[in-house]
Amino acid sequence: MAGYGDHEVSDDPLQILRHSTAHLLAAAVTELYPGVKYAIGPAIKEPPGFYYDFDFGKQVSDAELPAIESRMRRLANADIPYVHEVLPREQAIEEFRKRGQDYKLELIADKVSGDGVSVYRTGDFLDLCLGPHVRSTRDIKAFKLQRISGAYWRGDEKRPQLTRIYGTAWQTQRELDDYLKFLEEAEKRDHKKLGKDLKLFTVDDRVGPGLPLWLPDGATIRRELERFIVDEELMRGYLHVRTPDVARLDLYRQSGHAQLYAEYMYPPMRFEDGEELELRPVNCPHHIVVYQTELRSYRDLPLRIAEIGNNWRYERSGTLAGMNRVRAFALNDAHIFCTPEQLMDEVKGAIDLALYFSKVLGIDEFSYRLSTRDDVKDKWLGTEEQWEEAQAALAEALESMGQTYEVGKGEAAFYGPKIDFQVRDAHRREFTNSTVQVDFQLPQRFELEYVAEDGARKRPVMVHRGAAGSMERLFSYLIERYAGAFPTWLHPTQVVVTPIADAHNEYAQEVAARLRASRVRVEVDRRSERLDRKIRDAKLKKVPYVAVVGGKEVESGHVNAQNRAGEKVDMALESFVEMLTAEIAERRRPPQR
Ligand SMILES: [Zn+2]
Ligand SMILES: [Zn+2]
């Protein structure tokens, strides 16, 4: 049902086709399930397709989808026209009452004003709808029902729970096949699935949704990422600090978060002695306090204060997804305090760092979005002039670095415009991984100062930047990017040493000990399994190198290893150690097959 529900009427042919397929689905369902009530059935963009909500009055499972789909096909082949009628209100009500369609009656009561009620017929099936639709069911050639989930009538959890059937429809069978194949590939790479299969992280109801636990192998990858990030930042003149996850609520009153960001914040903890503590939603106020520990002079600027700091944001449960959207995350955060004259260089430096991280981590596909002020909600601080100035500075920095960008109107935070680095997950859903944000507001609210060259007190500008994003989101991205086959430097197990027989155990241990001495993460597979089974298991875990040692290796002091691309090396143990440690130190990307 388009137009009368919460969805827009579309003139995009693909959306019209998909919405028409939703009608076809409802027509098939009403034939197969007498007494079923249908609610709404819009086309949707993400994922591309449609759904229809039904009240079956009983449980319906995925196993019933094929039968519904084949009835839809039969109706499609029958070439039934979509007939538009505008009925007098009383007649429309009578038609839907006769059919027992209470949800449609409610929609007529709430959404239709005036006397004419727009309906569409396909055979016996009648829907309340403004259209448009395809001409005939025959125009629907390529579709597939995909899954069933629950949904509340009109999104209200106090109203009945309905059964939502999702499907997708395309202009041609070929487009449909391509899409289904893409979905299958994305499913294999899905970080929630791989995170479980490879034992990287877990989400447990007892801990709570949106609060993932990093398992040992996942924690190893995170430690490597953090070392890489912190070392690079130290080299680029950042100063790393450690600050607590909580602060007095007053700190966020001063920053404005308590007023303007409250919907995402955890409720404050109030104690008997009057103390009010708040889990921090951002790190900025803590870093401002660090800045204010001494009187800063122009010689101290730019001052780049960095931390991988935990942030707490209460995202709605429906939006939580594995490691990608969580309720507590560790942000690769920094706040740069500088003079207005230094601003451009600092913005460029932050972009350059994000680019460097992307290059090393293999984030090859990304785009820039310049997020500007939200005029509609009127949720912003400062003057028009300051915003214009900051927006211009960001645009100029990007342009001077030869980067193209799009403008995200209204996507900025309340205290300043920002550059977002947009990347895509395996399902090609776009999300923000890192940001560079100019802020004239917090320096004012906290009365930040520095002593200028002429001795006068001046106000610094602040740049908030997250160059590699949050550890959680970055991890979810990397899992999908590499489908678990992480570069050697990141992989939790870099080498598996596999002795051919018990007699070779001692040499296998010797090889492992030598590798460990050079900080290589190595395991010895001493299970009494067949050799090909052991090699297969290591490949399933996507281990970068499998070293097989037998009599020949014991005698020669060699290592006979195979990488994930199937390339073999046979070399002296010392040479192998040297090769491996160089690959790790240079953080080389894995060979592409
Ligand atoms: Zn319709
Ligand atoms: Zn900040």
Centre of ligand 1 from the C-alpha of residue 591, in Å: 50
Is the pLDDT at 36 greater than 80? The verdict is: yes
Ligand in nearest proximity to the CA of 20: 1
Centre of ligand 2 from the C-alpha of residue 436, in Å: 10
Centre of ligand 2 from the C-alpha of residue 465, in Å: 7
Q: Which residues of 359-371 are buried (b: 16+ CB within 10 A; e: fewer)?
A: ebbbbeebebbbb
Centre of ligand 1 from the C-alpha of residue 429, in Å: 27
Centre of ligand 2 from the C-alpha of residue 421, in Å: 16
Centre of ligand 1 from the C-alpha of residue 177, in Å: 25
The radius of gyration computed from the CA coordinates of the chain, to the nearest angstrom, equals: 30
Ligand in nearest proximity to the CA of 24: 1
The whole-number pLDDT of residue 585 equals: 96
Ligand in nearest proximity to the CA of 436: 2
The 8 Å CB, 24+ separation contacts for 427-432 are 427/47, 427/183, 427/186, 427/190, 428/186, 429/46, 431/324, 431/473, 432/369, 432/469
Ligand in nearest proximity to the CA of 282: 2
| In contact, 315 and 264? CB cutoff 8 Å | yes
- Name the more confident of 8 and 288: 288
Is the pLDDT at 5 greater than 50? The verdict is: yes
Centre of ligand 2 from the C-alpha of residue 44, in Å: 35
Centre of ligand 1 from the C-alpha of residue 130, in Å: 6
Centre of ligand 2 from the C-alpha of residue 283, in Å: 6
* Rounded Cα–Cα distance for residues 45 and 40 (Å): 16
Helix, strand or coil for residue 37?
strand
Instruction: Work out the mean pLDDT of the chain and round it to a whole number.
Output: 93
Centre of ligand 2 from the C-alpha of residue 431, in Å: 19
Is the pLDDT at 131 greater than 90? The verdict is: no
With 0-12 / 13-18 / 19 or more C-beta atoms within 10 angstroms meaning exposed / middle / buried, residue 139 is: middle
The whole-number pLDDT of residue 174 equals: 96
pLDDT digits 0-9 by tens, 409-468:
888 877 789 999 888 877 777 878 889 999 888 999 999 999 999 999 999 999 999 999
pLDDT digits 0-9 by tens, 283-312:
999 999 999 999 999 999 999 999 999 999
Ligand in nearest proximity to the CA of 331: 2
Range name among 24-33, 429-438, 473-482, 516-525 with the lowest pLDDT average: 429-438
Ligand in nearest proximity to the CA of 284: 2
Range name among 255-264, 374-383, 465-474, 508-517 with the lowest pLDDT average: 374-383
With 0-12 / 13-18 / 19 or more C-beta atoms within 10 angstroms meaning exposed / middle / buried, residue 243 is: middle
Ligand in nearest proximity to the CA of 132: 1
Q: What is the DSSP string of 67-93?
A: HHHHHHHHHHHTT-B-EEEEEEHHHHH
What residues are neighbours of ligand 1 (ion), with CB under 5 Å? 2, 129
Centre of ligand 1 from the C-alpha of residue 469, in Å: 42
Chain center to CA of 158:
30
**Of the candidates 428, 418, 429, 398, the residue with the CA atom closest to the CA atom of residue 466:** 418
Q: For the chain, what's the residue count?
A: 593
The whole-number pLDDT of residue 593 equals: 47
* Rounded Cα–Cα distance for residues 503 and 517 (Å): 23
Query: Stretch 495-517: mean pLDDT, rounded?
Result: 96
* Rounded Cα–Cα distance for residues 436 and 357 (Å): 14
- Residue 302: cis peptide before it, omega within 30 degrees of 0: yes
What residues contact residue 11 under an 8 Å CB cut-off, 6+ apart? 132
Centre of ligand 1 from the C-alpha of residue 179, in Å: 24
Tokens read off for 287: 């870093």
* Rounded Cα–Cα distance for residues 521 and 442 (Å): 45
The whole-number pLDDT of residue 7 equals: 55
Query: Stretch 225-237: mean pLDDT, rounded?
Result: 98
Centre of ligand 2 from the C-alpha of residue 224, in Å: 24
Domains defined for the chain, CATH in brackets? 13-189 (3.30.980.10), 201-482 (3.30.930.10), 495-585 (3.40.50.800)
Centre of ligand 1 from the C-alpha of residue 127, in Å: 7
The whole-number pLDDT of residue 9 equals: 64
Query: Stretch 552-559: mean pLDDT, rounded?
Result: 94
Centre of ligand 2 from the C-alpha of residue 335, in Å: 6
Handedness of CA 171, 175, 179, 184 (dihedral sign): positive
Name the band, by pLDDT with cuts 50, 70 and 90, for residue 1.
Answer: very low
Centre of ligand 1 from the C-alpha of residue 169, in Å: 15
Beta-sheet pairing, 328-338 with 303-312: antiparallel
**Of the candidates 175, 158, 176, 147, the residue with the CA atom closest to the CA atom of residue 51:** 147
* Rounded Cα–Cα distance for residues 350 and 463 (Å): 9
pLDDT digits 0-9 by tens, 351-372:
999 999 999 999 988 889 999 8
The whole-number pLDDT of residue 379 equals: 66
Centre of ligand 1 from the C-alpha of residue 338, in Å: 57
Number of H helices and E strands in the chain, helices first, is 18, 29
CA distances from 569 to 8, 497, 547, 562 (A): 61, 14, 9, 6
Query: Stretch 337-349: mean pLDDT, rounded?
Result: 93
